[in-house]
Amino acid sequence: MSGSSGTNVSSGTNVSSGTNVSSGTSGSNGTSGLRELLRTDRRRLLCVLGLAVVVGVFTATVPLLRDWFDLRVYYGTVDTWVHHGGRIYDYRVPGTTYGFTYPPFAALGMLPMALVALDTAIAVGLLLNIAALAAVVWFLVGPALRRYGWFGFAMAACLLALFEPVRDTFSFGQVNLLLLALVLSDAWLLSTGRGRRAGVGIGLAAAIKLTPALFIGLLLLARRWRAAGVATAVAAAATGLAAWAVPDASRFYWTEALWDTGRIGRLAYVSNQSLQGVLARLAAPDEPSKAAWATVALLVLCLWAWRTTRALADEDWTAAFALTGLAACLVSPITWVHHLVWLLPAFAVLLHRRRLRVAAALYAVLCSSVVWLWFHDASGLDGFLGSNTYTWITLGLLLWLPVGQPRVSRPFLSRRARNTPPAPSPAAPAIPATSGQPGPSPAGCAGAPVVAPGPAAGTPRVSTSVPTGSTRPAALKPQSSSERASS
C-alpha cells in the first residue's frame, strides 16, 4: 500500500508539476519569442527607414539629377518624326548637339511616346525602369533575398538607389536596365532547362542597342546553336522591320551614323569608362590611335572567350553572362557611367561566392562618383589612375571574377544536368533472427547502423549570403552639368 501510494503520489506529482512547468515555460518562451521577433522587426524597420532617409537626403542635396535628358532626346525625336515630319537622326535637343543615336528599331519601339505628353512619358519610363530593376534583382539574387522577406528586398532597393550607374539610368531616363532584364531572361531560361525558348531577349536587346550583340557570341561559345540562331533571327527581323518602316533612316544609320562616334559624345569625356575612353584621355587633345584600341579590344575579347569557356564548361551561366557584360563595357567605343549596370551580374557572382568584402569595397567606389574629380583635368599619373577608376574595376572583374563555382551556390539551378542519384552503398548482409534473439534493432541500438538526420541525397545546400547593410559612398563629387554624356 505504501509503495503503491508512493508511486501514485510521485507519478501524480511528476505529471502535475511537469505539466505546469511545461505550460508555464511554453507560455513564457512564446511571449518572449514574440517580443524578440517584434524587436527584430522593429530594428529592421528602423534600419530600412534610416537607410531610406540617407538615400533621400543624398538624392535631394547632391546635384546629380540629370533631368531625364536622354528620355527627352527620345521623346523629342519621336515627336518631331511623327507630328512634324522630321527625320529621326536630324533632331537635336534645343541648345545642344545631342540627338538620337540608337538603331532605327529603337525609335519604332518608342513610338507610343507620340501619344502622350512628356510628363506621362517620364512617369511611364520610371515605372518601366522600376519593373526592369525588380526583374534583374529577382533573376540574380531573388531566391536568396526571399529568405529575408520584405527586409531583404527593401535593403536591396536602398543600396541600388545609391549605386551610381543605377541612379544615373533612372535620372537620365535611360534604357539600360530594360536591356539587362531582357538579356538575363535568356540566362534564366538557359540555366533552368528551358533553352529551346532562349534567344528572344538577347535578339531584341541587340536590335535596340548594339552592345548586347556580344551575348550572341556567348551563345556560340556555349554551342547553344538554337538559342544563337533565335537571337540572330530576332535581331535581323527587328532590323528588317525598321528598314521597311523607315528606309531612309536605316540607310543613314548603318552607313554613316553608326561609324560617327562624335554623334554620341567626346571619346575623352570622363564619363566614357571604356578602353577607348582611357586611350582618348591619354592622347588628349589628339585623337586616340584606332590601331591601339583595336589591339587592346582584341586582347580583351580573347580573355573574355577564355574565361567564359571555363565558366560554360561547368554550366555556370551567371558567371558567363557577367563576364560577357564586363567585356561588352570594355570593348564598346563609348561606355558612359550609366551603362555600367551591366556590372550587376558580376556583383551577384561575388555575393553568391561570399566575397562580401570585395563586393562592398567595389560597391562603395561605384557609389562615390570618384571619376568626376578629374572632370576638368585627367592628365598626370593621378589622372590616369583616378579618371579611369570604373574601367579598372571592370577590367579587374573580367580578370578575377570567380567562375566555375559549385552548382549549389548558383542563383540559377539547372534542372537538366547532374541530377543522377548517387550509387547505393553496399548493404550489410542480413542476419536471420533466431529464437530468443531480438528482432531488428531500432536506430541507435547496438548492432544497428545509426543514420544521422540530414538532407536527402542530391539536395543542394543554398547559400544565404546576401548584403544586409549599406556602404557609405567614399566621395560625393557631383557630376558636372556643364557638359554631359548623351544617350
> pLDDT tens digit string along 402-430?
987 554 444 443 444 444 444 554 444 44
Question: Poorest-confidence range of 170-184, 325-339, 393-407?
Answer: 393-407
Contacts of 119 (CB under 8 A, 6+ apart): none
Q: Of 404, 285, 252, 279, which Cα lies nearest the Cα of 334?
A: 279
Report pLDDT for 39. 58
Rounded CA gap, 393 and 359, in Å?
Answer: 11
Domain for residue 446, yes or no?
Answer: no
Residue 195 confidence (pLDDT): 83
Distance, CA of 246 to CA of 108 (rounded, Å): 9
Cis peptide bond N-terminal to 422, omega within 30: no
Most confident of 36-45, 167-176, 461-470: 167-176
Q: What is the mean pLDDT of residues 275-300?
A: 92
Residue 193 binned pLDDT confidence (cut-offs 50, 70, 90) = confident
Q: For residue 1, tell me if it sits in a domain.
A: no
d(Cα 126, Cα 170) in Å, to the nearest integer? 7
Does the pLDDT at position 21 exceed 60? no
Position 383 in a domain: yes
pLDDT band of 95, cuts 50, 70, 90: confident
C-alpha to C-alpha distance for 168 and 186, rounded to whole angstroms: 25
- The listed range with the strongest mean pLDDT (14-23, 356-365, 473-482) is 356-365
Q: Which amino acid is at 337?
A: V
Distance between CA atoms of 81 and 88, rounded to whole angstroms?
Answer: 6
Specify if 213 maps to a domain: yes
Phi-psi region of 129 (alpha: psi -120 to 50; beta: other; left: phi over 0): alpha
Residue 446 predicted with pLDDT over 50? no
Residue 173 has pLDDT above 50, yes or no: yes
Q: Is residue 448 part of a domain?
A: no
User: Which range of residues forms the domain containing residue 205?
Assistant: 47-409
User: Of 42-46, 306-310, 348-352, 364-368, which gets the smallest average pLDDT?
Assistant: 42-46
pLDDT at residue 228 greater than cutoff 80: yes
What is the rounded distance in angstroms from the CA atom of residue 310 to the CA atom of residue 316? 9
What burial class does residue 443 get, using C-beta atoms within 10 Å of its C-beta: 0-12 exposed, 13-18 middle, 19+ buried? exposed
Provide mean pLDDT across the span 145-167: 88
Would you tell me how many other CB atoms lie within 10 Å of the CB of residue 298? 11
pLDDT at 360 over 70: yes
Q: For 272-289, what is the mean pLDDT?
A: 92
The closest of 213, 228, 249, 124 to 175, measured between CA atoms, is: 124
* Size (the chain), residues: 487
**Predicted pLDDT at 315:** 87
Q: How many helices (H) and strands (E) does the chain have?
A: 18, 0
Q: Which of 360, 466, 461, 459 is nearest to 409 (CA)?
A: 461
pLDDT, residue 404, reads 74
Q: Look at the block and give the residue holding cell 531573388.
A: 142
Work out the average pLDDT over 135-160. Answer: 88
Number of domains in the chain: 1
Has residue 196 got a pLDDT over 50?
Answer: yes
Q: Which residue has the higher pLDDT, 151 or 474?
A: 151
- What is the band of 246 on the pLDDT scale with cuts at 50, 70, 90? very high
pLDDT at 243 over 60: yes
Residue 133, pLDDT above cutoff 90: yes
Predicted pLDDT of residue 33: 53
Residue 285 belongs to a domain: yes
Contact 200, 228 (CB under 8 A): no
Does 257 have pLDDT greater than 90?
no
Question: Within 13 A of 250's CA, how many CA atoms are on the CB side?
Answer: 15
Q: Residue 31: its pLDDT value, please?
A: 52
Could you tell me if residue 192 is inside a domain?
yes
Q: Is the pLDDT of residue 451 over 70?
A: no
- What cell numbers appear for 200 in the block? 528572344
Nearest CA among 235, 237, 243, 182 for reference residue 213: 235
Is 380 part of any domain?
Answer: yes
Averaged confidence pLDDT in the chain: 79
Write the CB contacts of 217 (distance below 8 Å, at least 6 apart in sequence). 324
DSSP letters, 211-261, are GGGHHHHHHHHTT-HHHHHHHHHHHHHHHHHHHHH-HHHHHHHHHTGGG-G
